[in-house]
Amino acid sequence: MTRIYQNSILLILVWIGLSCHSGSQISPSNLPPIDQSKEETAVNSEALMHFMDGQLYMSQGNYSMAVIEFQDALRIDPDVSTIHISLGECFWALEKPERAVFHLERAIYLNPDDAEARNILAHQFINRKLFDRAREQYEILAESDPENVENIIVLAELAKLQRQFEEAIHYYQKVFDLDPHRIEALQKAAEIALKIKRFELAQIIIKQMTLSDKSNIQYLENYTDIVTMNGDKKEGIRALKQIVNLEGSSVGVLNQIGLLYYEINHPDSALEVFSQVYELDSLNILALHFLSQISREEENIEKAQYFADQMIYFHPGEPRGYINLALALLIQNNHQRVMQILSKQADIFQEEFTIQYLLGLSYNLDSNYKIAEQFFKRALAINPKSRNTLHSLAIIYDKTIQWSQSDSIYNELIHSDSTDAQALNNYSYSLVERGEKLGIALEMSKKAISLSPKSSAYLDTYGWIHFKIGNIDSALAYIKQSVDIEDTNAVVLEHFGDVLVKKAEIEEAIRYFRKALEINPNNAVLRKKLSEL
């Protein structure tokens, strides 16, 4: 902050400029008043000589001698602000901050437009961590010189130091508005916005950065991250495509685009992008995974299996390859092949939930309930909150007449989620088949229908409970609705036949029994019912 004047001509110009009184502010109580009878003060040569000697001592670092000379100059000419500024600097160097502040405030009082005095005073306040007082000075400087970005930058930094983050962001944005070359101000504003979790504001600021420097890849990458985090995945795709336009296609960026397309439910676009990745790198795990998954979802099972096989061959340590192949096979009802493939991997991928679950599902489809139970339990140990696994275990316990265990799971499912229509329906059906707690079963079944009124299975359960308690007309109404929605379930068709028998509509009953037998030709009970009609 020390000012060393290069020659006496410059010093005299400064002296003359600062020794003229301008409009005064309210004087601090500890400052002597200015002699208002003087409209203009002539340069006093003796005072000027003392001032120049003081400047020389300052340049040599001899602040004590400089103070003596400046004080002599002040005695001769007390109302020259530049003398007070120099004294303020000396006292600050001599670690006498209170006296430094006194003289700097006096200089400002003598010349309110003296930006240098305010700057020096503000810097002293900052060093003393008197941030509020420093901000007062910089606010005045910013108001008097609104185009000076340096003052706004300091205000931004002070606001940040005081954890007034919204204000700091405002000032940094103002810096950029004044000088669009100061893009680093926007960077700081974005950093603060992220820090205080104003993610939408951060997105706006970073977008402004990308528009200001359209070729800056880092800004585009940051923008992609923030818009994706904010859930604006379409905008993320747009930004990533801009990166591709600047840098060309790369596996990493294309994978991001493909993933975002998949997440916004544009599978065809995702498939196209992952196909591009496959052309660039046929071993890329992410591309192979999504090419298999999307192909399966679009019922192109052959392709789904091909990419899954590729993944298994080139990446045998990646469980998703086996999972994708198993899912493709299950669509083809080839659960036995799934058991062959996954049984070899179950111990290798002991912590992979989906492998254990799919094995349990496959053994369940194979009616091997004991082994299915083991794998479902392994899956549940990995993910104890998996409701699908709990449902599957409950069904197994129901089939194997372990009702205390199935009831326990159903109660757990319903207690943790009273809107679990599947649990309400399955528990109801289990009770009616046992002939137990039919009143409770009816209430649970009624709630399941209210939650999912178009479910064929739930309508059948509710109708079947009515049948068991003797409400034949209600049974007929609800089971007919079930059949109208889906007429390919042998159990529902058989139930409808039973209700028709009770209504003495024998020909219709025979028709539905025969239809059920076509679907399930090994049903001995059905054959017996037909033979008795």
Token reading at 196: 């205080």
Residue 10 pLDDT: 32
The full set of domain ranges for the chain reads 1-145
The CA radius of gyration of the chain, in Å to the nearest whole number, is 42
Which amino acid is present at 177? D
Token reading at 489: 């379930």
In this structure, whether the domain defined by 1-145 belongs to CATH 1.25.40.10 is answered with yes
Other beta carbons less than 10 A from residue 453's beta carbon:
11
Residue 42 pLDDT: 52
Contact 379, 356 (CB under 8 A): yes
- Ramachandran angles phi, psi of 332, nearest 5°: -90, 10
Token reading at 281: 């790198």
The pLDDT tens digits along the chain (533 residues) read 333 333 333 333 334 344 433 333 323 334 444 443 333 345 588 888 888 888 898 889 998 998 898 898 889 888 888 888 888 888 888 988 888 888 888 888 888 888 888 888 888 888 878 888 888 888 888 888 888 899 899 899 989 988 999 999 999 999 999 999 999 999 999 999 989 989 889 899 988 998 888 888 888 888 888 888 888 999 999 999 999 998 899 999 999 999 999 999 999 999 999 999 999 999 999 999 999 999 999 999 999 999 999 999 999 999 999 999 999 999 999 999 999 999 999 999 999 999 999 999 999 999 999 999 999 999 999 999 999 999 999 999 999 999 999 999 999 999 999 999 999 999 999 999 999 999 999 999 999 999 999 999 999 999 999 999 999 999 999 999 999 999 999 999 999 999 999 999 999 999 999 999 999 998 899 899 888 88
Q: Any idea how long the chain is?
A: 533
Q: How far apart are CA 35 and CA 391, in angstroms?
A: 94
Q: With CA atoms as reference, report the closest residue to 24 among 32, 13, 15.
A: 32
Residue 22 pLDDT: 34
Question: What is the pTM (predicted TM-score) of this model?
Answer: 0.70
> DSSP per residue over 54-80, as a string?
HHHHHHHT-HHHHHHHHHHHHHHSTT-
Label residues 291-310 b or e (16+ Cβ within 10 Å = b): bbbbbbeeebeebbbbbbbb
Residue 78 pLDDT: 87
Q: How far apart are CA 274 and CA 263, in angstroms?
A: 14
Half-sphere exposure (Cβ direction) of 46: Cα atoms closer than 13 Å: 7
Task: Write down the H helix ranges in 196-232.
Answer: 199-212, 217-229
Q: How far apart are CA 353 and CA 215, in angstroms?
A: 44
Q: How far apart are CA 160 and CA 37, in angstroms?
A: 46
